[in-house]
Amino acid sequence: MKFKSLLAGVPAAALLALCGPALAKDSDHDWSNIDILVLHWSQSSNPFFGPVNAGAEDAAEDQGVNIDIQFGEEDPVVTSNILETAIANGVEAIALGIADDDSYDDILCRASQQGIVVVSMNIDDSKGRDGTCRLAFMGQDFVTAGKALGERMIAEHGIGAGDLVFTPVEAPEGTYAVLRHQGVAEAMAEVGATTEMLATTNDHGTALNLMTQYLLGHPDTKAVIGLGQTPTSQAGQAIRDAGLDIPAGGFDISESILADIRDGVLTAAVDQQPYSQGYYAVTQAALAVKYGLYPSEMDTGGIGLVDKTNFGAAVEWSGRVR
């Protein structure tokens, strides 16, 4: 990455001075004039972000602030235009997923310099706060999570030297995909197994077809590990359609994924707790604007595996929270 963070080495107190009107709000503590942009990197049709939005909405109500939820549609131009509009409109804070290490650096640093609080959620620059002008990240430790899932699949299914593990993902170039795959690949390398990624997109029908075709062409595949919600939700059906009997696991929680865990189709899935991502991103952004409180890094799901032993709680709260 060519970009050098403008905030690198700057003391926290100095950073907070960039956070805009931290304390000088209405004397009666009416915070209703605080506007926060919540910007997701993904497509608006992606069901994963339902719980993220629920958390953001609850936080906005608790903090008495306004939020505007937008989707970048996996398009850097769309995302950049939304950011520019928000800055021009004078938002006090931005909470966003940073799916590209380079595309938004100039915009986010300009926003920070103008006194706008910037935090990231769900997905972050691969170099963290050293990579761009954001104050804190609320989301998953992707590498740790990937390695934990890989080690679970190895231990339970005897994956070993020479085995091939299929790791489909919606967007292989996305930071989340690269880092999750890194963790899974590290686990596999320790036992001499290899991995292979495939782009599935977020469309379930497209993902199922692409995954099935891959498995038909690679009948020696030892296991499937979906690196995102879409391929994880389609893994079981793809395996059946390809006429194979191999184990599968993956990332994220949905009603269909939980049903597959219950039925033994999936060994386990990593829960990154999307509600927490939305709730704490908006909460911490609001607290920074209102009181000058410095946002904290938060791991919302590094090694939280959901399997047959604990899926009940996830089922109870699936959809809006899990």
User: What is the C-alpha to C-alpha distance for residues 274 and 321, in angstroms, rounded to an integer?
Assistant: 7
Identify the pLDDT of residue 8.
42
Q: Global pTM?
A: 0.81
Residue 186 has pLDDT above 70, yes or no: yes
| Tokens 């999750």 -> residue | 180
**Banded pLDDT at 302 (limits 50, 70, 90):** low
Identify the pLDDT of residue 303.
67
User: What is the C-alpha to C-alpha distance for residues 112 and 82, in angstroms, rounded to an integer?
Assistant: 16
**pLDDT tens digits for 254-269?**
889 999 999 999 999 9
Mean pLDDT, range 39-62, rounded to an integer: 94
Residue 98 has pLDDT above 80, yes or no: yes
For the chain, domains (ranges, CATH) are: 12-139+273-301 (3.40.50.2300), 142-270 (3.40.50.2300)
User: What is the C-alpha to C-alpha distance for residues 143 and 95, in angstroms, rounded to an integer?
Assistant: 22
**pLDDT tens digits for 159-171?**
999 999 999 999 9
